[in-house]
Amino acid sequence: MQLQDILYSQGFGTRRVCAGLIQQGLVQVYTENNAEAPETIAQAAMEFVADGLRFRVQGVDWPYHEKAYVMLNKPTATECSQKPSTYPSIYTLLPSPLRLRPQKAAVQGVQAVGRLDQDTTGLLLLTDDGKFIHRMSSPRHHVPKVYEVTTKHALDERQVQRLLEGVVLDDDPKPVRAAACEAVDTHHLRLTLTEGKYHQVKRMLAAVGNRVEALHRSQIGGLRLPDDLAPGQWRWLSPADLESIQHGA
């Protein structure tokens, strides 16, 4: 694949812009002979094997990914929307190449897999793989999601039991049950859900006579939010991460 096409596929702008970056000497490529010191490439049409390629654009290293899969530690007071109404968008936390990857199957750049409320923090997945988004978001697949809930009132065993047995929300007569529920502390509940109804955790806690003071998603499938990923930071998902998500589903 030509280097300008590789950069284009990774979201560095139009082919003309990508060619310009290369011709200006702003793109270096890591090769087998130069695994530590990348080589500056001046020819936009020079061809490389894309899979496994590492390159540097304007001083920033990038690995080639046919499809992008990333995790973000969503901070509070941010919205999972391209057009936020009150708070900054989570997409402003990502570098522009992730936001500008070419459109694939009606997906422009990476998109959040589901949403977290503006005051909810924690693990959020983003990708430009439409099939992955559908698979992870579909209620038929029952992907478990673990939430750390800080409650206003002290928890008791009856509340935990009711959440496990199921509570009725005002928009559905069918009871909604927690897949798992544990009172970690007097005001800390660890709740596992396999559905994704609107404000579900907050409404479930209200149904048992309590209230959510803070909400944090710590795990999706078998993938836990890394302790060293600070709020607002992102990282690529590894093949092992992707397998872990599916394994926990």
User: Which string of DSSP letters, residue by residue, matches 115-162?
Assistant: ---TTEEEEEEEES-HHHHHHHH-GGG---EEEEEEESS---HHHHHH
How many whole angstroms separate alpha carbon 122 and alpha carbon 145?
11
Q: Which two tokens stand for residue 51?
A: 């899979």
Beta strands in 16-110 (DSSP E): 27-29, 39-40, 54-57, 60-63, 69-74
Q: How far apart are CA 36 and CA 33, in angstroms?
A: 9
The structure tokens 């998902």 sit at: 237
State the first-to-last Cα distance of the chain, in angstroms, to the nearest integer: 36
DSSP, res 193: E
From 5, 51, 61, 117, the catalytic residue: 117
Active site residue 117: yes
**Bridge-based pairing state of the strands 60-63 and 39-40:** unpaired
Catalytic (active-site) positions: 117
